[in-house]
Structure 1
Amino acid sequence: MAGKPFSFGTDRWDPTHRFETSWLLSPWVLFLFRALFSLYAFFTTIFISVWNCEFSPIGCLESEERFSYFTVLTFWGLGFYFLVAAVHTFTYARSGVPLLDRFPRPLQALHSAFYSTVVTYPFIVTIVYWGVLYTGPWFPVVFDGWSNISQHMLNSVFALFEIIFPRTDPMPPVHMLWLILVLALYLAVAYITHARWGFYPYSFLDPSKQHAFVAAYVFGIAIGALIVFGVVYGLIALRKWITETKLGKHGKFAKQSPRRIGADEEEMVDDQIPYRTILEE
């Protein structure tokens, strides 16, 4: 795949439903967590927008400007990912066949790429905010403290959940290209924001203040994204090794999972374990 960044792959899609199952949680419990995370993300973003309309000195204009921030866009992304993941997990728990399995291959590949973004971008947001942007003191207004903890701290907690509990495989390395491309597209959004609203979402993107250091910040964040991707890749591989190889926990599956028949029944998948054995574990 590294040599074919536009290929969706031809191998069988997720034969043991790693995107919808956990090594520890049942499919129904995994669905519940994902649904709750989605609800919290949407509630938070909508509540903040309504609050700004009511109490901000510039009214709803502040809520409109929020869509220029990478933090806000990635938090919306978390909400939509957990919503979609919850739907797929629910359909799998209910019938044994997730809705994702019925999608065309390009959408399945995009779901995999979506997963890569939600386990990578939140850590970049958290690191940049608390390491570069936050200067203190702590927020004197409770609302400000809650909104910043939700968007700049809980976002990484949600990402950690997706790293630790589902049975997902390490992300395809080709996804690094798309992560960098999305960051580059956001850079364009930042400068469109300046042209439209007259401000930069982040001060380190302002060439009138940072001058040549803007390029250093941009390349630094891009390199940081690749480092975060590598760390997450390693964490997922480590989780898979500990839970499956060392502990023998190959997953909790829906009771309705259809058993494959014929040649597929004896096909060896995922650490050389027969598909029937996995389903019956």
Structure 2
Amino acid sequence: MPFNPFASFSGPWDPSHRFETSWLLPPAVLAAFRAVFSIYIFTTLLFIIGWDCSHSSLGGCAEAGDEFSYFTVLTYWGLAFYFAVAAVHTASYAHSGFALLDRFPRSLQYLHSLFYSTITVFPFVVTAVYWGKLYAGPWFPAVYDAWRNVSQHAMNSGLALFEIIMTRTTPQPWIHIVGLILLLALYLGLAYITRATKGFYVYSFLDPAQKGGSGLIAAYVFGIAVGCAIVFAIVQGLIWVRRWVTETKLNKDGKFANADRQAADIEMVQPNKP
């Protein structure tokens, strides 16, 4: 059979509501978890902005504005919005048996799937780059700095794992690798726009004046792109293993909404659909 990167999108969109259900948690509980995660992330981000504004050595909120040039911060905002959107879709499914996402145009449904891929891949990239390259120790003397970095550089991956392990999603289309690499390329452009407009490099390894110059920058950029693709492949494997363990070995097809009486039957008829 020829390779089709869009195979997961043939036929009806998500007929058994895999994006809104868990193999273990009832839909209402899954919606609550997602809502709590979103609230925590938004609270963390807004507290950091308030802290930076009130403790700025320059006065005002200029330093807080600089935060939006960091990939860490942008991906954390992405997690916040994903969990908020996912909580709404899951709550609507728990209430009526139909997710709000079901009523969206197919293009937005595709983008939701890509959104899922970003929040299950980018957090691991952030965590690996930060603790492997940027963090040099010793541990943060201030509790605020420790909490801030643990929230953004460790808990982010924990929340990504929750979405990989606890939901019923299927492996996403491999074409998503292109989207992920494109987003990384767009961020690289933002990083150098920040250098041109604000006068600083968001990450030291992007500075051509460092030892190794442009060649080393190219190596870092290529390495991160390859690492992103590898992480995506690992996530695909984890999702496949989770489905095999929970659905094949444990016979846990999923927890469905009371109003949804067709999900299990549809999944039996169309086992390869998302």
TM-score relative to the length of structure 2: 0.93
Q: Distance in 2 between matches of 1:265 and 1:198?
A: 56
> Where does residue 121 of structure 1 map in the other structure?
122
Q: Distance in 2 between matches of 1:130 and 1:233?
A: 23
Change (3 A) 1:64 1:8: farther
Q: Which runs of 5+ in 2 are unaligned?
A: none
What is the correspondence of 1:76-225 to structure 2 with a 5 Å cutoff? Answer: 76-210=77-211, 211=213, 212-225=215-228
- The count of residues paired between Structure 1 and Structure 2 equals 268
Q: Distance in 2 between matches of 1:203 and 1:192?
A: 15
Aligned letter for 1:146? W
CA contact (8 A) 1:53 1:62 kept: yes
Aligned letter for 1:29? V
CA contact (8 A) 1:8 1:106 kept: no
Aligned letter for 1:17? H
Q: Distance in 1 between matches of 2:249 and 2:190?
A: 46
Say yes or no: does 1:241 pair with 2:244.
yes
Aligned letter for 2:30? L
Q: Distance in 1 between matches of 2:103 and 2:244?
A: 29
Q: Structure 1 residue 155: deviation in Å?
A: 0.3
Q: Distance in 1 between matches of 2:126 and 2:192?
A: 19
CA contact (8 A) 1:8 1:109 kept: no
Q: Structure 1 residue 58: deviation in Å?
A: 2.4
Say yes or no: does 1:228 pair with 2:231.
yes
**CA RMSD, aligned part only?**
2.0
Show CA shifts across 1:21-43 (max 9, x none): 00000001100110000001100
Q: Distance in 2 between matches of 1:182 and 1:110?
A: 13
Show CA shifts across 1:35-60 (max 9, x none): 00000110000100000000121241
Q: Distance in 1 between matches of 2:266 and 2:54?
A: 60
Q: Distance in 1 between matches of 2:5 and 2:164?
A: 26
> Where does residue 43 of structure 2 map in the other structure?
43
Q: Structure 1 residue 171: deviation in Å?
A: 1.3
Q: Distance in 2 between matches of 1:266 and 1:217?
A: 43
Q: Distance in 2 between matches of 1:78 and 1:208?
A: 33
> Where does residue 278 of structure 1 map in the other structure?
none
Q: Distance in 1 between matches of 2:239 and 2:38?
A: 22
